[in-house]
A = this chain, B = another copy of it.
Amino acid sequence: MARRSEHTREQLRDLMLEAAEQLIVDKGLAGLSARAIARQIGYTPGTIYLVFANLDELILHVNARTLDRLRVPMQAAVAATDDPEQQLLGAARAYADFARSHPNLWRACFEHRLPEDVAGPDFIDARIAQLVELIMAPLARVSGAEGAALDAAAQSLWSGVHGVCILTLTGKLHMVGGQATEHLTDDLVTHYLAGLVMRAAPADAR
């Protein structure tokens, strides 16, 4: 017992994040435990606390990685065209697609709850802000909105897409005529955008 320097702190950190990620992918947040991570990487639970303050912090870092990975396809969707409406549709579809392909990782980002009195760390907030900012420019272009109105549009649209993903992926919406995630995100985005554009430049005023 008591090996020395088998891995550096950094290596250990990566091993733990990797193992935790795999556990979440396989069995969801509920399947994650300090003991399971330790077992997976051949250490004891105590070692985890040499690297992270507690399990919550470890999970937050897994989530940060997930949010980074989620940004890639969304960014690609925005870069794929110059039509701002298509950019927004693409981003929403990329979001929904990521959520559907990595349900447990994606859900971990939003289901994980810190203790009542602890605030989320900046490195998570910043990554969420990055995602919302991705859609700001196209949204400004289609709607002509700016300032607080633009902020509101970005937040409500993004939240809306998020809501569709959550409810369809957790099976809380499979009632009569339950619809596919993609279909509903498209419906939400196109109608919201149409309404937003109309409000900005009403047909009556043409």
| Residues on A facing B (Cβ under 8 Å) | 27-28, 30, 110-111, 113, 115-116, 119-120, 125, 128-129, 132, 148, 151-153, 155-168, 170-179, 183-185, 187-188, 190-196, 198-199, 202-204
CB distance from A104 to the nearest CB of B (A): 9
Looking at chain A's contact residues, the main secondary structure is helix
Do residues B153 and A159 form an inter-chain contact, with CB atoms below 8 A?
Answer: no
For the complex of A and B, 9 pairs with smallest distance between CB atoms: A163-B163, A203-B203, A160-B160, A194-B195, A195-B195, A191-B195, A151-B177, A129-B175, A156-B188
Q: In the complex the two chains form, what is the Cα distance from A115 to B202 in whole Å?
A: 49
Q: Is the CB of B162 within 8 A of A166?
A: yes
Q: How far is the CA of A167 from the CA of B161 in the complex (A)?
A: 11
User: Smallest Cβ distance from A32 to chain B, in angstroms?
Assistant: 13
Q: Which residues of B contact A132 (CB under 8 A)?
A: 173, 175
Bound form: Cα–Cα A174–B165 in Å? 20
B166–A159 touching, CB < 8 Å: yes
Known: A125-B175, A155-B178. 13 other contacts (CB 8 A): A28-B116, A110-B172, A120-B171, A132-B173, A151-B176, A159-B164, A159-B166, A160-B161, A160-B164, A194-B194, A194-B198, A198-B198, A198-B203
Complex CA–CA separation, A203 to B197 (angstroms): 13
A sample of 23 inter-chain contacts (CB < 8 A) reads A28-B116, A113-B170, A120-B172, A125-B175, A129-B175, A155-B178, A156-B187, A157-B188, A159-B163, A159-B166, A159-B167, A159-B168, A159-B184, A159-B188, A160-B161, A160-B163, A163-B164, A166-B166, A191-B192, A191-B195, A194-B195, A195-B195, A203-B203
